[in-house]
């Protein structure tokens, strides 16, 4: 289990990646992260939704109300073109970071 | 679902300015309600679903995690609490002073009993509670 301290700066990238695959609503995002990381990444929903709000304020994602078969509506998020550009930048940064860490720590981390 | 709204408002009580807060409350509330809906759909009783959602949600500290400039938010809370403390102390001195003045100059009933003491003790809860909130915020 990794605490959110280490990974905090990368929650943005994770959310953008998920929305790049398909539009999702808030709790769906939380579930998806939980499943894919097999609960190794302990992000609180409070943090996740607050990040979502921040991303929307920065216009990296936008939201719309989607119909649900029965009952209440859901608020879906989709990535904007600005968000896609930002995501590509983040990926570049990650590649660089990975190269640096691999060069420094080498076989210890593989 | 009123419990969820109340929970979220309480959670964000001392954070953010009103403009940001409205949007954040909206998103947090909607997301929580979606979770409750999903749980209910999977067969959980409504009350239990709400309890579970709220318990798993996290606290104000977790919300602040999302904001890299959260240090400034914390400073904001501390400043607000300090102002409240100063205001309370000032108000206490004003009310206390007035009580002493009235007691000693005009209204000398109860056989010279110094009733201003009761006022002083009674109103003391005000700066005291503000001091408590200030120290809590600072921690």
pLDDT at A71 over 70: no
CB A26 to CB B31 under 8 A? Answer: yes
The ipTM value here is 0.76
Q: Tens digit of pLDDT per residue, chain B (139 long)?
A: 688 888 888 888 777 666 667 888 888 888 898 899 889 988 889 899 999 998 888 888 788 877 766 556 677 778 888 889 999 999 999 999 998 888 888 776 666 678 888 889 999 999 999 999 888 887 7
pTM for this model (two decimals): 0.67
Distances from the Cα of B50 to the Cα of B10, B37, B47, B131, angstroms: 16, 9, 5, 34
Q: Is B109 helix (H, G, I), strand (E, B) or coil?
A: coil
Q: Which residues pair with A78 in a beta bridge?
A: A62
R_g of chain A computed on alpha carbons: 16
> What is the pLDDT confidence band of residue A2, given thresholds at 50, 70 and 90?
low
Shortest alpha-carbon distance between residue B64 and chain A (Å): 7
CB atoms within 10 A of CB A56: 17
Closest CA to A89 of A5, A16, A4, A2: A16
Query: Which chain B residues are closer than 8 Å to A77 by Cβ?
Result: none
pLDDT tens for each residue of B56-72 = 888 887 888 777 665 56
Query: Which chain B residues are closer than 8 Å to A8 by Cβ?
Result: 65, 68
CA B50 to chain centre: 23
| d(C-alpha A87, C-alpha A90), whole Å | 5
Shortest alpha-carbon distance between residue B138 and chain A (Å): 21
CB B63 to CB A50 under 8 A? Answer: yes
CB A50 to CB B56 under 8 A? Answer: no
């Amino acid at each position: 289990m990794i605490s959110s301290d280490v990974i905090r700066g990368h929650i943005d990238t994770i959310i953008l990646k998920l929305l790049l695959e398909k539009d999702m609503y808030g709790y769906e995002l939380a579930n998806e992260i939980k499943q894919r990381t097999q609960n190794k990444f302990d992000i609180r929903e409070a943090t996740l939704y607050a990040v979502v709000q921040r991303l929307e304020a920065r216009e990296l994602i936008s939201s719309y109300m989607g119909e649900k078969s029965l009952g209440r509506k859901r608020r879906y998020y989709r990535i904007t073109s600005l968000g896609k550009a930002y995501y590509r930048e983040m990926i570049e940064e990650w590649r660089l970071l990975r190269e640096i860490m691999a060069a420094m720590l080498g076989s210890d981390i593989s | 679902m009123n419990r969820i709204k109340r929970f979220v408002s309480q959670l964000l009580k001392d954070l953010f300015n009103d403009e940001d807060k409205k949007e954040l409350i909206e998103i947090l509330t909607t997301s929580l309600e979606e979770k409750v809906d999903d749980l209910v759909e999977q067969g959980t009783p409504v009350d239990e679903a709400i309890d579970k959602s709220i318990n798993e949600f996290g606290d104000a500290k977790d919300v602040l995690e999302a904001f890299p400039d959260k240090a400034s938010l914390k400073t904001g809370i501390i400043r607000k609490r300090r102002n409240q403390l100063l205001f309370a102390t000032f108000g206490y001195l004003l009310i206390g002073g007035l009580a002493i003045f009235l007691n000693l100059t005009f209204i000398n009933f109860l056989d010279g009993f110094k009733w201003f003491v009761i006022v002083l003790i009674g109103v003391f809860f005000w700066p005291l509670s503000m001091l408590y909130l200030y120290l809590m915020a600072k921690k």
